[in-house]
């Protein structure tokens, strides 16, 4: 082997190692925070403006670590709003599809249950949604074992096609939210409204083998 071939032989692994090192450092070095407001119609007939914050980091794709792009991360996803003079804040906004006012007179958040199977060890329920209830501070939230029936069939009121660092938009009216969500909602009955029969693929399989 010539000296040139030997040098190339060791140069390629070195370049790859350096590339992987750079990739591993990118998430901490390259992050962006995107904030916007959404106009949210409530089931009471009222309308509120909800402030949302999503943190993005440069990450590789699930099947291709070299497919680098800004992708949302779990930490830093926040929902904030004021209802009847009281402020509310939810710090782990993953898969929340609905903000609604309970018959008892307090706001609740409803999320897709499959997002919480691992995070909150939420068990499979039918329908597969999770209901978050605030404490007196409006910052700490608990959840019952299943959602309340009064939530069934309520239309969702959240923006799913969220802005990215490259496409920032500061405010979304109801009409703009519906237009942005339309392509994705055409393929998702569980996100159009709170479907009383929704179970999710993973829980369907678990139910078969129970």
pLDDT of residue 7: 45
Where along the chain do its domains lie?
3-208
Mean pLDDT by 10 residues, the chain (210 residues): 50 53 53 93 98 87 70 82 97 89 97 71 84 96 94 97 87 96 87 91 62
pLDDT of residue 8: 45
pLDDT of residue 15: 52
Structure-token match 């709170």, residue found: 194
pLDDT of residue 122: 75
d(CA 175, CA 84): 24
Are 113 and 143 a contacting pair, CB within 8 Å? no
Burial of 107 (0-12, 13-18, 19+ CB in 10 A): buried
Strands 96-101 and 78-83: unpaired
pLDDT of residue 11: 52
Predicted structure pTM score: 0.79
pLDDT of residue 189: 79
């Amino acid at each position: 082997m010539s000296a040139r071939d030997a040098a190339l032989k060791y140069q390629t692994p070195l370049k790859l190692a350096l590339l992987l090192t750079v990739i591993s450092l990118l998430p901490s070095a390259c992050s962006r925070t995107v904030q916007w407001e959404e106009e949210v119609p409530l089931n009471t007939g009222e309308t509120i403006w909800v402030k949302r914050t999503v943190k993005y980091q440069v990450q590789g794709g699930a099947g291709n670590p070299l497919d680098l792009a800004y992708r949302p991360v779990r930490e830093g996803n926040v929902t904030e709003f004021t209802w009847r003079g009281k402020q509310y804040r939810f710090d782990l906004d993953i898969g929340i599809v609905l903000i609604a006012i309970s018959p008892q007179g307090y706001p609740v958040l409803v999320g897709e249950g499959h997002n919480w199977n691992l995070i909150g060890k939420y068990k499979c329920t039918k329908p597969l949604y999770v209901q978050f209830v605030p404490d007196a501070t409006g910052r700490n939230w608990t959840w019952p074992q299943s959602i309340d029936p009064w939530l069934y069939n309520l239309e969702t009121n959240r923006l799913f096609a969220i802005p990215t660092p490259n496409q920032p938009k500061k405010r979304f009216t109801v009409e703009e939210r519906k237009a942005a969500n339309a392509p994705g909602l055409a393929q998702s009955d569980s996100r159009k409204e709170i479907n009383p029969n929704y179970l999710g693929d993973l829980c369907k399989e678990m139910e078969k083998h129970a």
